[in-house]
Amino acid sequence: MKSIIKKFKEYFWKEHWNIAVFKGNISDFVEGKIKQKDLNWLFGDKENGFCADPFLIEYEDKIFLFFEEFEYKKQKGRIMVSELTESSDGKINAGEKMIVYDYEKHLSYPFVFVYNEVVYMIPETSSENEIALYKATNFPLKWEKEKVLIPNFAGIDTTLHFSQNKWWIFCSNDKIGCNESLYIFYADDLFGKWESHNHNPVKLDLGNSRMAGPIFCWGNKIVRPAQNCKETYGKEIVLNEIKKISTEDFDEEALGAFAINDKSLYSKGMHTISSSENFVAIDAKKFFGARKYLDVINWKRKAIFTKLRQVFQKDSQLDII
């Protein structure tokens, strides 16, 4: 049965994501200063897959884009990297796509960051039932697992944030619904012991839980981007101002939602935004084949099951072993 479902998705149930980059800062995007003409779409349509989950890093005077490359036939993603260059006319181009990690199981959301002059990455490895930290040994292609931060937890779209002298992890739990749950973990030391927030899951909301990229500052606000998955996976990005975060409390307020213009080739969804010092990357999608007509029906069905799941799991807590 699984093989039949896999073949059906491969041929009829396709969504195609692409990545766009523009020069500027994330405030330009939030304040609506970026137009369609400013976006540089990096990868053309491919019959066998797509690119999504962009993460930018400027390192040693070069610009690198880490991302997921998904293959329809295998129904899984792998982690890739391309060096970006800017031409004299201001156009941004992606160099050769190079493989960073390619496992038998699905990989995505390569959250890259620099700490103490070392480059680290936390990719999504929910299929391994863990959240793990990887260290670059020969950037950008060679990495090794440094530490399993959170074992026995199928974390989705793990996002790291440092504030109030603590490290915070924001992610979803694939075991109770990857699109509608938000979990928080914290530690005094990145390499130390991680604890589960006392109110996990801190949010159960199909329209505003799953992470959509790194947490960032906008003026005096700390903003958490989240995905709205009510109508379709990654319909739009909701920006939330974090009002309070501690080991006992979490509170945020939605500031607004952002989606790609309807006139764009990729107008059916957007689910990741990230930035470096001088550039911003987003992803967006369109549908192929029967997916154009069946997606709305499918996600309404999922929304019903989500509500039922929340009723039975709203009081569940996570035990870290």
Amino acid identity at 118: V
pLDDT at 288 (0 to 100): 76
Decide if pLDDT at 90 tops 70: yes
Residue 232 falls inside a structural domain: yes
Query: What does the pLDDT look like over 174-228, one tens digit per residue?
Result: 999 899 999 999 999 999 999 999 999 999 999 999 999 999 999 999 999 999 9
Residue 9 falls inside a structural domain: no
Check residue 202 and report its DSSP letter: S
Q: Quickly state the pLDDT bin for 310 (edges 50, 70, 90).
A: very low
| Comparison of pLDDT for 20 and 292, the residue scoring more | 20
Count structural domains, the chain. 1
Q: Quickly state the pLDDT bin for 129 (edges 50, 70, 90).
A: very high
Q: Quickly state the pLDDT bin for 45 (edges 50, 70, 90).
A: confident
> Does the N-terminal peptide bond of residue 225 adopt cis geometry, omega within 30 degrees of 0?
no
b/e map 104-134, b = 16+ CB within 10 Å: eebbbbbbbeeeeeebbbbbbbbebebbbbb
Residues 6+ apart with CB under 8 A from 114: 57, 59, 120
Residue 186 falls inside a structural domain: yes
Residue 51 falls inside a structural domain: yes
pLDDT at 319 (0 to 100): 28
Average pLDDT over residues 226-232: 95
End-to-end CA distance of the chain: 34
Collapsing DSSP to helix, strand or coil, 308 comes out as helix
Amino acid identity at 244: K
Q: Quickly state the pLDDT bin for 316 (edges 50, 70, 90).
A: very low
Decide if pLDDT at 59 tops 50: yes
Contact 127, 153 (CB under 8 A): no
Query: What does the pLDDT look like over 150-167, one tens digit per residue?
Result: 999 999 999 999 999 999
Q: Are strands 49-59 and 155-163 parallel, antiparallel or unpaired?
A: unpaired
pLDDT at 161 (0 to 100): 98
Residue 5 falls inside a structural domain: no
| Comparison of pLDDT for 37 and 318, the residue scoring more | 37
What is the domain-level CATH number for residue 81? 2.115.10.20
Instruction: Name the least confident of 98-102, 115-119, 260-264.
Output: 260-264
Residue 214 falls inside a structural domain: yes
pLDDT at 124 (0 to 100): 97
Contact 109, 100 (CB under 8 A): no
Structural domain containing residue 272: 14-313
pLDDT at 318 (0 to 100): 30
What is the C-alpha to C-alpha distance for residues 135 and 113, in angstroms, rounded to an integer? 10
Average pLDDT over residues 15-29: 95
Decide if pLDDT at 1 tops 90: no
pLDDT at 7 (0 to 100): 54
| Comparison of pLDDT for 204 and 44, the residue scoring more | 204
Residue 239 falls inside a structural domain: yes
> Does the N-terminal peptide bond of residue 140 adopt cis geometry, omega within 30 degrees of 0?
yes
Average pLDDT over residues 105-112: 97
Q: Quickly state the pLDDT bin for 289 (edges 50, 70, 90).
A: low
Residue 6 falls inside a structural domain: no
